[in-house]
Amino acid sequence: MQVAEKKAVPLSFDDVAALAADDMRAVDRLVAVSLKSDVALVSQVSEYIVMSGGKRLRPLIVLLAARALGYEGEQHVRAATIIEFIHTATLLHDDVVDSSDRRRGMDSANTVFGNQASVLVGDFLYSRSFQMMVDIDDMRVMQILADATNTIAAGEVMQLMNVHDPDTSEDDYRQVIYRKTARLFEAGAQIAAVLAARNASDEAAMVEYGQNLGTAFQLVDDALDFNASPEELGKNLGDDLAEGKATLPLIHAMRVGSKSERVLIREAIVKGGLGQLDKIQAIIESTGALEYTAQRAHEAADIAISALSDIPDTEYKQALISIAEFAVKRRS
């Protein structure tokens, strides 16, 4: 008689974090050392945003993926720290570009320290990241991270071009979220494979995992902008609409809504602001835009999980699967 395969029990996020706790403590130590500067304001702004909370999801992926692929060295800690610094630099610059005043439930760095300090400290973190890349002393890792950083910068410009443009297509939107969000997830997972000296097939699997995980994460984030509380979201509800960004819930609502509904959303995107937020939330609800966005997120998460099929079955692989499941179930 054939014995049914035992299905792995999904891990909670706390379980996943506990699995990488020792590595993450090493990341925290390296972060603290690497943020030190003889310019006091650099350290103050850097520490304010890096230490301001968040789940450290991007470095966590690097750490877990490296362990899932059998890596036994220490450079994954440095790679995870680099990924966190690049991400933090983008947040500093994003909040200035978007005139955001909240981040992770706190005043944004530009609100506390000013736009000039935020931009310049973002530059400091980018340059510190490249110093740390040299310390890894692996040309492939440097290439992946340099390419990812350039792609993210291009994505920022692409998003800026799409602001206040109600004719932004779903394809345009997906290009932006790949460049701005998914590309860094992808780079982190790929670097883990490079450090572990895995074959091309395993490296491609990690690229697919990271890219689709990042896509799922951003899709959920954009849906939460219309149906989460500010406390859950860690920023102001409707920020994307206020900034004139046509995210997928709005794109879908315009695609299937009535003429009057399309006109209302188009005007809101063109003008920005939150004067019509309640009406637009109702349209998003009635047109099934949140469900559509959630479906696309689940599709991406399923692809991410499937990409891991040939990776050895370990608790670290299960942790990577659980992160993909968590990404589409989260409320913040």
Residues 43 and 171 in one domain: no
Residues 117 and 176 in one domain: no
Residues 174 and 129 in one domain: no
Residue 325 in any domain: the answer is no
Residues 280 and 170 in one domain: yes
Residue 3: predicted pLDDT: 41
Residues 125 and 159 in one domain: no
Residue 2: predicted pLDDT: 44
Residues 301 and 172 in one domain: yes
Residues 196 and 79 in one domain: no
Residue 250: predicted pLDDT: 97
Number of domains making up the chain: 2
Residue 102: predicted pLDDT: 74
Range of the domain at 174: 155-310
Residues 292 and 161 in one domain: yes
Residue with tokens 């450079």, as numbered in its chain: 75
Q: Is the CB of residue 23 less than 8 Å from the CB of residue 68?
A: no
Q: How many residues does the chain have?
A: 332
How is 149-191 classified by DSSP, letter by letter?
HHHHHHHHHHHHHHTT-TT--HHHHHHHHIIIIIHHHHHHHHH
Residue 236: predicted pLDDT: 66
Over its C-alpha atoms, the chain yields an Rg (Å, rounded) of 20
Residue 139: partners with Cβ closer than 8 Å, 6 or more residues away: none
**Structure confidence by residue, pLDDT tens digits, 77-97:** 999 999 999 999 998 888 888
Residue 2 in any domain: the answer is no
Residue 17 in any domain: the answer is yes
Residue 332: predicted pLDDT: 55
Residue 113: predicted pLDDT: 86
Q: What is the pLDDT along the chain (332 residues), one digit of tens a residue?
A: 444 444 556 688 889 989 999 999 999 999 989 988 888 888 888 888 777 767 789 999 999 999 999 999 999 999 999 999 999 999 888 888 877 777 766 888 888 888 898 899 899 999 999 999 999 999 999 999 999 999 999 999 999 999 999 999 999 999 999 999 999 999 999 999 999 999 999 999 999 999 999 999 999 999 999 986 655 555 567 889 999 999 999 999 999 999 999 999 999 999 988 889 999 999 999 999 999 999 999 999 999 999 999 999 999 999 999 999 999 987 65
Measure the CA–CA gap between 297 and 219, rounded to whole angstroms: 6
Residue 61 in any domain: the answer is yes
Kindly give the residue spans of alpha helices, DSSP state H, lying in 272-308: 277-286, 289-307
Measure the CA–CA gap between 293 and 282, rounded to whole angstroms: 16
Kindly give the residue spans of alpha helices, DSSP state H, lying in the chain: 13-19, 21-34, 40-50, 57-68, 75-97, 109-113, 115-136, 139-162, 170-177, 183-195, 200-227, 230-233, 239-242, 248-256, 259-271, 277-286, 289-307, 315-327
Residues 61 and 159 in one domain: no
Share of the chain above pLDDT 70, in %: 92
Residues 195 and 245 in one domain: yes
Each as own residue / partner, the long-range contacts of residues 91-95 (CB below 8 Å, 24 or more positions apart, any chain) are 91/49, 92/45, 92/49, 92/118, 92/119, 92/121, 92/122, 92/125, 93/118, 93/119, 93/122, 93/156, 94/156
**pTM for the full predicted model:** 0.91
Structure tokens given for 58: 């991007």
Residue 282 in any domain: the answer is yes
**Structure confidence by residue, pLDDT tens digits, 152-188:** 999 999 999 999 999 999 999 999 999 999 999 999 9
Residues 132 and 182 in one domain: no
Structure tokens given for 277: 């937020």
Residues 96 and 39 in one domain: yes
Residue 147 in any domain: the answer is no
Please report, for the domain that includes residue 95, its CATH number: 1.10.600.10
**Structure confidence by residue, pLDDT tens digits, 183-217:** 999 999 999 999 999 999 999 999 999 999 999 99
